[in-house]
Structure 1
Amino acid sequence: MDIPRNRQGFALPEYLAYASIERAIRPYARSDRFAVALVLPRWEDKAIYLRAAAAHLNPLDNFRVSDRAYIGDEKPETYDSILDDFANRRTIVLFKDGESVPQEVAIAFDSVTHLDVPSIRMVQGIVKWIYKLEIGSEDAELLARSDWRHLKLAVVRGRPISRVLSSLRKLQAAPLSASVKRTIIDETISLERMEGYGEAKNWGLDLARDVGDWSTGSLSWDDVDRGILLSGPPGVGKTVFARALARTCKMALVVASYAKWQAKGHLGDFLKAMQGSFGEARKMTPSILFIDELDAFGDRNTVDSDNASYDIKAINGLLEQLDGLEGREGVVVVGACNNPGWIDPAITRPGRLDRQVRIGLPDADARAAIFRMHLREELSAKDHRAFAAATEGMTGADIQQIVRYARRNARRGRHPLTPADVFRHVPPAVPVPPDVIRINAIHEIGHAIVGAALGMSLSTVSIASTLRLDQTRQHVGQAVFARNVWARRTKDHYLDIIAMTMGGIAAEHVFLGCWDDGASGGAGSDLHEATKIAIALERSYGMGKNLASYGPASSLDTNEIRQVDSSLMAEVEVILRDQFDRAKAILEDRRDACLELVDKLVRRQLLPGSEVMEAICQISSVPEKHND
């Protein structure tokens, strides 16, 4: 290692952390600018890893060096200042888990790497380097898996490593104190107490009953669900759910992820690590194998040609392992992802992860329950409801962090926890002006009515009355439609989707005379999404003037196509104009119903889809699609 054996403040734990970090950042070591997120194997060792990361970036302790290492959830600056760090220096940021990596800046990291507990070989090599002594694999494993805070105390200067190992063995054999036992027990909450998980919670409780019946011999394993795919935005608690599920089912938990497997090295190491996780789950039956980041595997039909061989073999390896569980009793696989549409369909076929449940952001009641859970019944139900009202759009992980910071604030102030401690760490929210609320309501009702009139199943339509200052991207409103997985995706199907997508700006045009750039500006805006669908119609699905296809819609690069296909945008313009006019006509025919629903949405902020359908059911005519 490129570090002195006698570095000030360093002991064996720091050298172990240094070696782990060295391996993780090796691809960027010669770069003068990089930003790497490291997810630690044990969060309680974060101070040790922080010292090791700082030594990597500034080995000579030169005060002129601006490279930085810090703990992700303790940095007080804004995301803009974090991005400035990323642009101008070498940066290492430490996180507790993958869900703690802020979504707003995740894309700016060169990599997000899950560090493992140091391997036996690594520990043996470092002990030999420091102490000039070779140790066996059992001793190396003891050092790697010991509490590093105890290890740092045990490794005082001049103490032989044999005495250190003896001390650790005695400490490991000693009974846990009641306080430590209680902490471990409380670390994972049972599924019964968790809120905001909806269908996933119901499935988990059913699984717990089935596993209990199986364990007593009254139910065959063939009748037990063997897998589920959880999807949802980062921070909604997919990993927490897996832990609670394992506790409730009284099953061992094996945690794995695409990043953790990939961090092992090349494809052979990747597949070997994957096999190891499945093998561990088989040995620990009954067990739950939690696999995070399943969408990172991709789809064999749309993989990038440069990485096709690697990705296809990785997916095939996963399918082989999933199939290998058939006939082996006692293993349930819980997969997790942010974007289920990116997953190879073979992974979710019957017999694998065929059950799919989306975990959304918790509503107000769920947020109040999450506060109550993390506050351990401290403060009043009225306080919990007030906290919930101030945290609209937050995830369970966000709420857990708020409570953690509030407790820290109370400890430092040496006073009992108060509501003020909690509110101090709730990001400020500003009320949306009344005129803007009405504009947003018009826009969302436009989506809702056009979609409902075209036969789509509207679940809810909602608008936000406040916005949080800590988020650069957040919903000011949304119309949510249930997806019909059996729908025949013809040209008419896609034209209907384009019309619904343009329903928001069509409503603004009908009722306000114009629209603003919020729905028509950047990537992901309504107009951009409608344009992408129109391009796919013309150049991917063969549903336009030509039968030729440029390939899967997900891989189409709009800017690249425009440079080589001069006629494309003119054809797309015709589609967009036709569907925009069609959406306007639908809204004009239902003008009174639109305005009535806008008033209701402004007052109530959320309407069920059934109420929208009831308001427009008297008018059944729908304008022609055109673009034939």
Structure 2
Amino acid sequence: MKFVALQKALNAAAEQAKGGRPSVFFLDEVDSFYNRDQSTNGYVIGMVNGLLTLIDALSATEGVVLVAATNDPERVDPAVVRAGRFDRHIRVGRPIRSGITAMLSAAVAGVIPGPDLDRVSAQLVGLSGAEVAALLRDARTSARKAGRDLALKDLQAAADRAQPQLGDALMRRVAVHEAAHVVAGHAIGLPAATLARISPRGGEVVRPHLNAMTARDIRGMIAAVLAGREAEDILFGDVTSGAGTGSASDLAQATSLGIRAECAFGFGPDLCWISPDTPITLLPATVRDRVEDRLRAGQKEARKIIVQHRGAVERIADALLEHRELDGAALAGLLDGMEVLADSEAQPVGGHDA
């Protein structure tokens, strides 16, 4: 009955869009329909089939623009997002610093000076647009409770609650960590980084993915992932727990690369395929040992690169501390002239996106 009711509601909305042309039909959280390949449930399959029929009908209707959104694209059925249904796929990431400044400026309407807004924006780098909007609501609520107009102190207090500032020493460590990822990736020949940013929550380096990988590519990627940890040890004498915090951490990514090399890509001595999603504790001891060997080799290469290019790491770290984020052009300028020594074990990698 739920399926019938939902399908009826979708069809009614589709008819409204057709009748009101020109119109936009927006389907939010399209991942809630799941992926038919991940389920044998007839209800799920019927839901997705009904959705596909509706999408095809709307796509064939002139004057109707079809838009969908999801926070989990992996759960969306491939047939839903193929060309002819949704021709353009646009990834909307977290806002850059100038975007955060624009959000704050629009909200305070000139009440707070630009330099103050820019300073607060630097603190908020790394937050999502929704988090920035929630922060603004929090600031307005505080001002309203105090019986006055929104002021800088309300905005700053809300910013401190949403993303407390780190001390200078910790922020420098974060900057060095991310700068090392940039430098190592450049030395190895990975696709050029398009963005590097730091925030009190940590940092990230964004670069295009490789379409296909060789065994040498895997080694280079592991080295680039582990470079942040090695830079901390070289520049500060120890490492923090940040490289191993969570399933998306540096150590988790490096381990995943090693497991895929051994279990899924056939880069080890065994050709039998093992799901790379298998917990490492369930893998044969010999496979675990080979994964560890790959991590150690990547660690050794990362350390060599950071020692050779320490100056570049510190230069990019200084720029990150000043600006909080650097785009591809800024990173390329900072890397310009960085000499990759001929005896480096790092090798160029190929097969990456344009």
Give the TM-score taking structure 1 as reference length: 0.48
Q: Is the 8 A contact 1:446 1:504 kept in 2?
A: yes
Identify the residue that residue 107 of structure 2 maps to in structure 1: 374
Which structure ranks higher in relative contact order (CA pairs < 8 Å, sequence separation ≥ 6)?
2
The residue type paired with residue 291 of structure 1 is L
Residue of structure 1 in register with 2:307 after alignment: 588
Q: Does 1:478 align with 2:204?
A: yes
SS in structure 2 of the partner of residue 482 of structure 1:
coil
Let me know the Cα RMSD of the aligned residues: 3.2
Shift of 1:519: 0.5
Separation (CA, whole Å) in 1 of partners of 2:245 and 2:157: 35
Higher normalized strand content (fraction of residues): 1
**1:251 — aligned with what?**
none
Choose the corresponding residue for 2:194, options 459, 470, 474: 459
Max radius of gyration: which structure? 1
Instruction: Rate the CA distance shift 1:308–1:584 in 2: closer, same or farther, 3 A.
Output: farther
Tell me the alpha carbon deviations over residues 243-300 of structure 1, each in whole angstroms, 9 at most, x when there is no partner: xxxxxxxxxxxxxxxxxxxxx73x4444444444333322332211112223344444
Corresponding residue of 1:442? 176
2:23 — aligned with what? 287
Q: Which residue of 2 aligns with 1:319?
A: 52
Contact 1:369/1:384 (8 A) holds in 2:
no
Matching of residue 502 in structure 1 with residue 235 in structure 2: no
- Unpaired stretches in structure 2, ≥5 consecutive residues: 348-354
Rounded to whole Å, the distance in 1 between the matches of 2:183 and 2:205 is 10
- SS class of match (1:457): coil
SS for the counterpart of 2:205 is strand
Per the alignment, residue 84 of structure 2 pairs with 351
1:352 is matched by which residue type in structure 2? R
Task: Return the letter of the residue paired with 2:177.
Answer: H
**3-state secondary structure, aligned to 1:502:** helix
Distance in 2 separating the partners of 1:359 and 1:612: 27
Q: Distance in 2 between matches of 1:426 and 1:592?
A: 33
Label 1:391 to 1:462 Cα distance change in 2 as closer, same or farther (>3 A).
Answer: closer
Q: Which residue of 2 aligns with 1:570?
A: 289
1:229 matched to which residue of 2?
A: none
- Could you tell me how far 1:494 is from its partner in structure 2? 3.3
1:277 maps onto 2:13 in alignment: yes
Q: Secondary structure at the match of 1:567?
A: helix
Q: In the TM superposition, what is the alpha-carbon distance from 1:510 to its structure 2 partner?
A: 3.7
Corresponding letter in the other structure for 1:531: T
Q: Is the 8 A contact 1:371 1:387 kept in 2?
A: no
Give how far 1:578 is off: 1.8
SS of the equivalent of 1:586 reads helix
> Structure 1 residues 620, 431: closer, same or farther in 2, change over 3 A?
farther
**Contact kept in structure 2, 1:449 and 1:612, CA below 8 Å:** no
Could you tell me the TM-score, scaled by structure 2's length?
0.81
Residue 534, structure 1, aligned to residue 258, structure 2: yes
- Aligned 1:617-628 pairs, distance under 5 A: 617=339, 619=341, 622-623=344-345
**Aligned partner of 1:398 among 123, 131, 143:** 131
CA distance in 2, matches of 1:604, 1:410: 29
- Please, which of 520, 525, 532 is the counterpart of residue 244 of structure 2? 520
Residue number in structure 2 paired with 1:83: none
Check conservation: 2:25, 2:67, Cα contact below 8 A: yes
Deviations 1:1-34 (A, max 9, x none): xxxxxxxxxxxxxxxxxxxxxxxxxxxxxxxxxx
**Residues 448 and 612, structure 1, Cα contact 8 Å, conserved in 2:** no
Structure 1 residues 366 and 441 mapped into 2: Cα distance closer, same or farther (>3 Å)?
closer
Structure 1: runs of 5+ lacking an equivalent: 1-263, 468-473
> Which structure is higher in helix share?
2
Q: Which moved more, 1:438-447 or 1:381-390?
A: 381-390
Question: Structure 1 CA distance, aligned partners of 2:100 and 2:316?
Answer: 28
Checking the alignment, whether the CA contact within 8 Å between 2:226 and 2:251 is kept in structure 1 is: yes
**1:137-216 aligned within 5 A:** none
Partner of 2:352: none
State the 1:384 CA deviation: 4.3
Q: Distance in 1 between matches of 2:174 and 2:17?
A: 49
Structure 1 CA distance for aligned equivalents of residues 139 and 317 of structure 2: 39
1:573 CA drift (Å): 1.0
Three-state SS of the structure 1 residue aligned to 2:59 is coil
- The answer (yes or no) to whether the contact 2:219–2:298 under 8 Å persists in 1 is yes
CA shift at 1:417, angstroms? 4.0
Aligned residues: 342
User: For residues 167-205 of structure 1, what are the alpha-carbon distances to aligned partners after superposition, in whole Å with 9 as ceiling and x for unaligned?
Assistant: xxxxxxxxxxxxxxxxxxxxxxxxxxxxxxxxxxxxxxx
Contact 1:406 1:424 (C-alpha < 8 Å) held by counterparts: yes
Question: For the residues of structure 2 that align with 1:492 and 1:298, how far apart are their CA atoms?
Answer: 36
The CA distance in 2 between the partners of 1:543 and 1:309, in whole Å, is: 39
Judging changes above 3 Å, is the alpha-carbon distance between structure 1 residues 615 and 477 closer, same or farther for their aligned structure 2 residues?
farther
CA distance in 2, matches of 1:516, 1:416: 42
**CA distance in 2 between partners of 1:270 and 1:550 (Å):** 39
Q: Residues of 2 paired with 1:433 and 1:622: CA distance?
A: 35
CA deviation vs aligned residue, 1:485-520 (integer Å, no higher than 9, x gap): xx3334443333222211212323444444232202
Deviation at 1:458, TM superposition (A): 1.0
Quote the Cα distance in structure 2 between the aligned partners of 1:510 and 1:410: 47
Which whole-Å deviations, capped at 9, do the CAs of 1:45-74 have from their partners, x for residues lacking one? xxxxxxxxxxxxxxxxxxxxxxxxxxxxxx
